[in-house]
Amino acid sequence: MELLLVILIGLLYAAGIYMMLRRSMVKLILGLILLGNGANMLIFLLGRIVKGKPPIIDSAEKMFTEIYADPVPQALILTAIVISFGLQSFAIILVKRAYKITDTDDLDELNTTDEIYE
C-alpha cells in the first residue's frame, strides 16, 4: 500500500511541476492544485498508515501500549486543504480578471510592462 502511494505522490509531483512549467495560466493553477495534493498525500504517508487503530487512550492506561494512528499529520493535512482552497480560489479569480483585461491566457504575452490594456 505504501509503495502505491509513493508512486502516486511521485506522479502528482511530476504532473504538477510539468503543468506549472506550461505557458497557460489555467495549466499553472492545475499544476498548483496537483502539487498541493501531492504534498498532502506525502504528509499523510509520513504519518504512517494504521488501519483500525484510533489515537484514543483507555481510561485505565497512562500511555499507548500498541500501534496507533498519529492525529498530527491528519490535522496538518486538514489545515493545508483549507489554506490551499483559499489560495486556489484567489488564483482563479486573479486569472479570470487578467484574462478579462488582456484577452489572453499565455504567460509570455503577459510579460510586458506596457499599459496598453486600460
Our CA angle for 64, 67, 72, nearest 5°, is: 80
Return the axis-axis angle of helices 2-20 and 25-46, rounded to nearest 10°: 160
CA 108 to CA 105: how far, in whole Å? Answer: 9
Output the pLDDT for position 62.
74
Q: How far apart are the first and last CA of the chain?
A: 54
Give the pTM: 0.75
Domains, the chain: 2-102 (1.10.287)
Cell numbers given for 8: 502516486
Among residues 107, 101, 114, 112, which one has the least CA distance to residue 29? 107
> Tens digit of pLDDT for each residue in 64-101?
666 667 778 888 899 999 999 999 999 999 989 988 88
> Tens digit of pLDDT for each residue in 34-60?
999 999 999 888 877 767 666 666 677
